[in-house]
Amino acid sequence: MLTITDLRAEIDGKEILKGLSLTVNAGEVHAIMGPNGAGKSTLGYVLGGRPNYEATGGSVTFGGEDLLDMDAHARAAAGLFLGFQYPVEIPGISNVQFLREALNSQRRARGEAPLSGGEFLKLARAQADALGMDQEMLKRPVNVGFSGGEKKRNEMVQMGILGPRLAILDETDSGLDIDALKAVGDGINRIMRAPDKAVILITHYQRLLDYVQPDFVHVLEAGRITRTGGPELALQLEREGYGVAA
Ligand code: ADP
Ligand code: MG
Ligand code: MG
């Protein structure tokens, strides 16, 4: 599904990713851990196509296509979903308006018919219910005044509505209480645990991995993947820290 080969990327002329390689197959969950400043968020932004995050070397293919050649909108339409550590607030635009436009613009880009207001509301309500999010939150301006936990549930509702093939979730567990953490973990499993989907979970802590069991755990240090293992690697890191780069 995703093949990253020797990726190099810089922000404002500073090289952050220094030859990063990673292969993600359909059906897999990959956790990426690593010290602050290692380049984890940068990896997410480069894959998502955020402006100013410039790939300067290497290659990334997504479903066989050259991802780096696509603009951010084309990447999303192709089924890439990026969950941010700090979801953006959009005063004046309701959650339903925003989500419907996001879904329909992706559907149009794929040559699919947009959903009507009624069809969309049905889908949005079903996803809100599944996530245990109050239906009223769908009418409120996007993320404005939402608590940390509500923003993350909202992001899961968004993911459920868009139905991506690959979700990259950056510290989606930060600042969540136990109930919200469980809701988000359940949401990831329900929406993304399927033979034709995959997840990259960027996290500092083992606790989310208790709910969403990774197939692979990677350590990203100084712009590269330096270690790869199974779930036991996350437990070892939690006990011992990252220590000296291997
Ligand atoms: P992580 O998510 O692993 O904590 P980041 O990807 O956020 O790390 O950051 C990697 C490095 O890139 C850090 O040294 C950070 O200071 C630097 N960096 C991030 N954003 C910018 C920016 N806009 N301009 C310059 N340097 C940046
Ligand atoms: Mg960080
Ligand atoms: Mg980060």
Mean pLDDT across the stretch 93-107? 94
Count the domains in the chain: 1
pLDDT tens digit sequence for 63-87: 999 999 999 999 999 999 998 766 7
Residue nearest atom 21 of ligand 1, based on CA coordinates: 11
Instruction: Specify the CATH number for the domain of residue 229.
Output: 3.40.50.300
pLDDT of 230 higher than 90: yes
Residue nearest atom 20 of ligand 1, based on CA coordinates: 11
Residue 229 placed within a domain: yes
Residue 204 placed within a domain: yes
Mean pLDDT across the stretch 185-192? 96
Give 70-74's long-range contacts (Cβ < 8 A, gap of 24+): 72/48, 73/105, 73/109, 74/109
How far is 58 from 31, CA to CA, in rounded Å?
A: 22
Residue 41 placed within a domain: yes
Residue 16 placed within a domain: yes
| Candidate from 7, 8, 12, 14 with most ligand 1 atoms within 8 A of CB, to mutate | 14
Average pLDDT, the chain: 93
Give the ligand at the shortest distance from the Cα of 16.
Answer: 1
Mean pLDDT across the stretch 205-212? 91
Looking at residue 67, its amino acid is: L
Residue 162 placed within a domain: yes
**SS3 (DSSP) at 218:** strand
In the chain, which ranges are E strands?
2-11, 14-24, 29-33, 53-62, 65-66, 80-83, 90-94, 141-142, 166-170, 198-202, 216-221, 224-229
- Asked whether 239 lines ligand 1 (CB < 6 A), one says no
Model ipTM? Answer: 0.94
pLDDT tens digit sequence for 1-11: 999 999 999 99
pLDDT of 246 higher than 70: no
Q: How confident is the model at residue 206 (pLDDT cuts 50, 70, 90)?
A: confident
Closest atom of ligand 1 to CA, residue 39 = 6
pLDDT of 211 higher than 80: yes
Mean pLDDT across the stretch 90-105? 93
Q: What angle do CA 155, 194, 210 make, to 5 degrees?
A: 65
Please say whether the beta carbons of 231 and 237 come within 8 A: no
Residue 231 placed within a domain: yes
pLDDT for residue 197: 98
pLDDT for residue 245: 46
pLDDT for residue 149: 86
Domain that holds residue 40: 2-240
pLDDT for residue 58: 98
Q: What is the pTM of this model?
A: 0.94
pLDDT for residue 244: 55
Residue 234 placed within a domain: yes
Residue 246 placed within a domain: no
Mean pLDDT across the stretch 124-139? 93
pLDDT tens digit sequence for 133-183: 999 999 999 989 998 888 889 999 999 999 999 999 998 888 888 988 999
